[in-house]
Amino acid sequence: MKTINRTVGGVFREVGQAAQQIGRAFTRALSRMSWPALLASCIMMALLLTILPLALTLFAVFLLLKIAIALIAGHNASKHIHDNQEH
């Protein structure tokens, strides 16, 4: 009877083989690139690694700020309406 569940070792072996294939393809691509293309790709990768996290962080901060302001404004508006109805 065959088992459908793979062992943990088999999964790690498969991940290792995939990583080796990606590494070989990466080194082949690097060896074929010219020096200016390699420099341009390094600069683009550096920009992506520094600017993208900054943009995502700023987006999250401003989104949370917007939600907080909306909650405070909504609470104040409902309190103001409730106070006017009592008089």
Q: Which is more confidently placed, 33 or 9?
A: 33
pLDDT of residue 87: 55
pLDDT, tens digit (0-9, with 9 covering 90-100), for 73-85:
887 766 666 666 6
- Tens of pLDDT, residue by residue over 17-64, are 999 999 999 999 999 999 999 999 999 999 999 999 999 999 999 999
Q: How confident is the model at residue 29, as a pLDDT?
A: 92
Q: How far is CA 74 from CA 5, 27, 34, 66, 79, in A?
A: 52, 56, 59, 12, 8
Give residue 81's pLDDT: 65
At residue 60, the pLDDT reads 98
